[in-house]
Amino acid sequence: MKKHFVRESVMAASMLLLTVAVSAQSSSSGYFLEGFNQRYQLNPAFTPERNVFIAIPALSNIQVDMQGSVGLANFLYESTSKPGMLTTFMSPDIDAKTFLDAMPKAAQFNVGLNMDILALGIGGKNGFTTFNLKLRNSEQVSLPKELFGFMKAGLAEGDYLIENTNINSITYMETSLTHSHKIGDDLTIGLGLKFLEGLAYADVTIDEIDARLHGDEWLVKSNGTLKGSIPAAEYKLDPETQTFDGIDVQDEINAGIIPSSYGLAVDLGAEYDFKDLVEGLKVSAAITDIGFINWSNMNTFATNNNEYVRFEGFNNYDINGDNSDETMDQITDDFNDMVKLYQTGKVNGKEKVMLNTSFRLGAGYTLPFVDWISFGELFTCRTGLWPYVESRTSICLSPCEWFDMSGNTTFSNMGSSMGLLFNLHPGGVNFFLAVDKLKAELNPQFVPLHDFGLNFSLGLNLAFGQKRYNN
């Protein structure tokens, strides 16, 4: 089945990415909860609560993270010419200024999935070692406001310079061995070694689109690349123009599940107990996912930076959605006509791609006179196509030995939100349910209407043995 990768990706993203799963690891709401087993994924210096930890296969930790700077309401409007019907932003009924004033500087989306498949942890006198096998996926999209302005532009609106259009997707398996070790009474350090198996990778980077009016059409010059490593894929070229024309996946059952690329990564972490200075104060720091995947079967396509393409513009669409399939095909065809990519000569090559690294700095304080109440402040910074910075303030309650919870407020470059985690951990069983972000106004089909942030996770694990020292 033919996969028009670039065209469908750009079109779908520009119309909102109606189905969207930022690179997730584990729930940040549980960072300061010592009864939360998955803390070691956020900071390798942390350890599970009991001496033996066994994950329930595929149920130990499932996390989906979705964020966007725009929503459906940015692209669909009530039609003035056909009352009672919805129309797209491309309709002449919709004033370009009204549409663009409601748009942020860039329409951005982060989509992430993190799922533990197997995990086993065993503790010793002063240390704890954990083995983990998981599936990870990350999707990042950034479409500049100027791109939508150009889509709305008529042939009398002047020239356009559209910069920094990006789409990135990565899926891989991660096998890790993490060890946490206590040094003295106050310091705990942690190290995680990861072996990575790349399943699929694709990156579209269009640094610049220069569109200039020329009579009744546009002259468009683009500067961009497409890179892809997708198993069992054949990259197609248009027979007439020799430009990129999509991807054929020869075996959809096996494609994407047989590793063909490999890499390594490291996690580092530490925690220090300042009880000798301030009773109840602990400070921690971690850097996770310092590493890369060396992708094989990498194919690269690029624009001819000196070529001006004649382009008639984005027009004549079914703006009321009566035939959405044809409209989608037409939009993708228009993008393909505007941005022409040629095979650069790099066929089935190799390329090293760095992971998105996360840095965390946390400080937790337990009230000395009410030791089941504590507070925490966690700062997180993640690199990537769309860097993410977050400050999370938490209050943690542990009213009994088998139950605790965390409520928190987050401020980030994606706006503010609230989070909550419930953690049940009687002897033998650990179950948690968490919502790290909850900011969304949904329509009846559960599609976000405006900018949104949704992050939820759950897990079921087995935990045996005596409780260990507090971290």
* pLDDT tens string 375-386: 999 999 998 767
Cα gap 280→371, rounded to integer Å:
9
Q: Residue 438 phi/psi, 5° resolution?
A: -145, 90
Residue 22's pLDDT is 41
Q: What is the domain range of residue 318?
A: 2-269+293-355+415-467
Residue 317's pLDDT is 64
- CA distances in angstroms from 58 to 13, 346, 459, listed in the order given: 30, 38, 9
Q: Encoding tokens for residue 29?
A: 């709401």
Please report where in the chains the tokens 């009924």 appear, as a residue: 93
| Residue at 62 is within a domain | yes
Residue 173's pLDDT is 95
| Residue at 399 is within a domain | no
| Residue at 97 is within a domain | yes
| Residue at 347 is within a domain | yes
As for how many domains the chain has, the answer is 1
Cα gap 269→50, rounded to integer Å:
20
Nearest to 218 by CA among 311, 81, 293, 156: 311
SS3 for 262-319 is EEEEEEEEEEEECCCCCCCEEEEEEEEEEEEEEEEEEEEEECCCCCCEEECCCCCCCC
| Residue at 371 is within a domain | no
* Low-confidence residues in the chain, pLDDT < 50: 1-23, 252-256, 471
Residue 256's pLDDT is 44
| Residue at 81 is within a domain | yes
What is this structure's pTM?
0.86
| Residue at 32 is within a domain | yes
Residue 156's pLDDT is 64
Nearest to 421 by CA among 123, 31, 14: 31
Buried (b) or exposed (e) across 122-135, using 16+ Cβ within 10 A?
ebeeebbebebbbb
Neighbouring-strand partners of residue 273 = 282
Residue 124's pLDDT is 84
H/E run at residue 77: strand 76-78
Q: How far apart are the first and last CA of the chain?
A: 52
Buried (b) or exposed (e) across 321-346, using 16+ Cβ within 10 A?
eeeeeebbebbbebbbbbbbbeeeee
